[in-house]
Structure 1
Amino acid sequence: MKKIIARIAFGMAAFALASAASAQVKPEDQIKYRKAGYSYMMSWNMGKIKANLEGSYNKDQVAAAANAIAGIANSGMGALYGPGTEKAVGGQTTRVKPAMFTDKEGVTKVAVDFNKAANNLAKVAADGDAAAVKVAFGEVGKTCKACHDQYREE
């Protein structure tokens, strides 16, 4: 429990720092960075866990991927949704819906849910129980889907 609280506190601090830093990052770079974080890092690590759950299970690979996902969840990437990033700019396209920038309560809920699920996945993965990882992995997937359904264009 202490690790989860520490990760949430770290995530909040990282968000505060990232918010300040994002003011200095051009909107097109914010879009590029957030796309890379989600498309490459999240997708790649989710894929590693899925492959382990569907094939030969390697506890260490799963734990490393789960820790990476928790790191992304706690990284403050929400700050990369700054002003001017709600539309294509500087050659960078985005599929974010306008509601992402106006529905603060809803965005906070999906972000907190994702953070909790990702931190839980890392905790469960450290124990090495494939069945428990499968459940926790499904919860992370649900939080990703909830955000995509509400705030991402097809």
Structure 2
Amino acid sequence: MKKIIAGAAFGIAALSIATSAAAQVSVEDAIKFRQAGYAFMSWNMGKIKAQVIDGQPYNQDQVAAAANAIAAIANSGMGALYPAGSDTGTGFRATKVKPEFFQNMPDVGQLAGSFNTAANELAAAAATGDQGAIRAAFGKVGETCKACHDKYRAK
């Protein structure tokens, strides 16, 4: 329970702090940067999935590097890339963030905190090389992604 509360508090704090940093980039650049971050995380999730879930040859160093990249992006302050007004606009493509995202910041903060926690747990599991632990942590990361997408990402 303490982890959940700490994760939610961290997520809300990160979003609050990030809001002041958001003024440093245009809305269009913010959308591009977050799209790039999510694309890079997706690519790294794919590498882990291929090796730990789909049965391709396993390379602990590659899986650990992918998990570390995901955790680094998760902890990078991506909340700064959601300035007001970035529910419309185009980065590399039109944004899919719903306006409801900006109306529910406590919930968004909790989701972000859960994602950060799960990403850090994935990196820790990957460092051990225990494929069962990696598989479980990978599933938790996917669940946190889905939780946010289901609420705040347009189809």
When normalised by structure 1's length, the TM-score is 0.85
Aligned residue number for residue 106 of structure 2? 105
CA distance in 2, matches of 1:58, 1:141: 21
Whole-angstrom distance in 1 between the partners of 2:15 and 2:115: 16
Q: Structure 1 residue 51 and structure 2 residue 63: aligned? A: no
Instruction: Give the secondary structure class of the aligned counterpart of 1:42.
Output: helix
Q: In structure 1, what is the equivalent of residue 146 of structure 2?
A: 145
How far apart are 1:13 and its partner, in Å? 7.0
Deviations along 1:128-148, whole A, 9 cap, x unmatched?
A: 001110000000000000010
Please tell me whether residue 115 in structure 1 is matched to residue 116 in structure 2.
Answer: yes
Partners of 1:13 and 1:99 in 2: CA distance? 19
Looking at both structures, which has the greater relative contact order when contacts are Cα pairs under 8 Å and sequence separation is at least 6? 2
TM-score (norm 2): 0.85
Verify the 8 A CA contact 2:23 2:83 in the aligned structure 1.
Answer: yes
User: Paired residues, what number?
Assistant: 144
Structural mapping, 1:34-49, within 5 Å:
34-39=34-39, 41-49=40-48
Residues 22, 80 of structure 1: 8 Å contact kept = yes
Offset at residue 89 of structure 1 (A): 5.1
1:136 equivalent in structure 2? 137
CA distance in 2, matches of 1:20, 1:106: 19
**Which digits, 9 at most, give the CA deviation of each residue in 1:55-99, with x for residues without a partner?**
111111000000000001100001110012111258852110111
Who is 1:126 aligned against? 127
Corresponding position of 2:23: 23
Supply the distance in 2 between the matched residues of 1:28 and 1:83 (Cα, whole angstroms): 12
The letter of the residue matching 2:41 is: M
- Once residues 90 and 38 of structure 2 are traced to their aligned partners in structure 1, the CA distance between those partners, rounded to angstroms, is 19
Task: Measure how far apart 1:24 and its partner are.
Answer: 1.7
The answer on whether the counterparts of 2:15 and 2:80 sit within 8 Å (CA) in structure 1 is no
Deviation at 1:49, TM superposition (A): 0.3
Distance 1:140 1:91, change over 3 A: closer
Q: Which runs of 5+ in 2 are unaligned?
A: 1-5
**What pairs with 1:85-104 in structure 2 (closer than 5 Å)?**
85-88=86-89, 93-104=94-105
The residue number in structure 2 matching 1:70 is 71
